[in-house]
Structure 1
């Protein structure tokens, strides 16, 4: 009879432990929600052009500010004419903040595989801001003209990227 009591006692303890563990549980619940916002978008309106310039035996630069002002340094001379910043339209969720990532540089090539470097990209408005309505973004940069830079029409083989993200 002792073995029956021992088995009965063990069974009773297991039921007792299981019952006390089960009754120690508590439950909480939570809801799930999501807010899908308007995707941020960017569209190119105008390509960047530094206009016509004249190089010399002295290296120099042409700075095209985001406000569309051309400034020559070194041996570069500006020829009167039209220069334009790259212009983009940014759109997205109203009142959200955004950031702009500009390239570090790009290269333009003329016939004969001659290269010229464009760097120091800047934007107006600044590289961070808040969206309220579709926004116009102007991007300027610096054209680096080598001494005796060969004449020609220089253009980028691939467009440069301007990246927009929500903060």
Structure 2
């Protein structure tokens, strides 16, 4: 029995000693770290959106495509008396060959005070010349696109110049 107890004691000490030796062993690895700073993305308006002139005999819409092509529905009748119809145009700058997304507004209000009373028209359904709202900067870091929208005309809309002097925001972000 004494031999068994001694043998068990020796085995226990060996296990403790082996664990201590194994616990002191370690390994390590290193990981290189890097980053790249790219040119900041920027956007500049190169042309404002102008729906041009029209006459109204009732409610309808005036659509300006991103290719600056106008069409009318309902009581809206296109004229060319004043103003040259143009889609809004934007220039984008940034890191060459990088992709970017654009965010267009949901709506905008045009206002006139021609009769002394403020009257408005809603502009919505903004579209761009970029497929799916995504662009790619050329190797030199530039690109451009155009934006169109729909002008909603109410029945009995007051005659006058309607404006939104602050304009609408278009946002670009690298993707």
TM-score computed with the length of structure 2 as normaliser: 0.80
State the 1:49 CA deviation. 0.8
Moved more, 101-110 or 122-131: 122-131
Do the aligned residues in 2 keep the contact of 1:109 with 1:157 (CA within 8 Å)? no
Structure 2 residue 151 is matched with structure 1 residue 143: yes
Q: d(CA) in 2 for partners of 1:14 and 1:151? A: 96
Any idea what the Cα deviations from partners look like across 1:24-78, whole Å, max 9, x if unmatched? x21000111001111111001111110111112x211110011111111111011
Partner-residue secondary structure (3-state), 2:22: helix
Question: What TM-score, normalized to structure 1?
Answer: 0.84
**Partners of 2:29 and 2:39 in 1: CA distance:** 33
Q: Distance in 1 between matches of 2:160 and 2:24?
A: 83
Equivalent runs, 1:71-150 vs 2, <5 Å: 71-80=71-80, 81-111=83-113, 112-126=117-131, 127-132=133-138, 133=140, 134-150=142-158
- Cα distance in 2 for partners of 1:129, 1:65 equals 18
Count matched residues.
154
Structure 2 gaps, min length 5? 1-14
4+ long deviations beyond 4 Å: 13-19
CA contact (8 A) 2:136 2:143 kept: no
Partner of 2:66: 66
Secondary structure of the residue aligned to 1:95 is: coil
Q: What RMSD, in angstroms, separates the aligned Cα atoms of the two structures? A: 1.9
Match of 1:50 in 2: 51
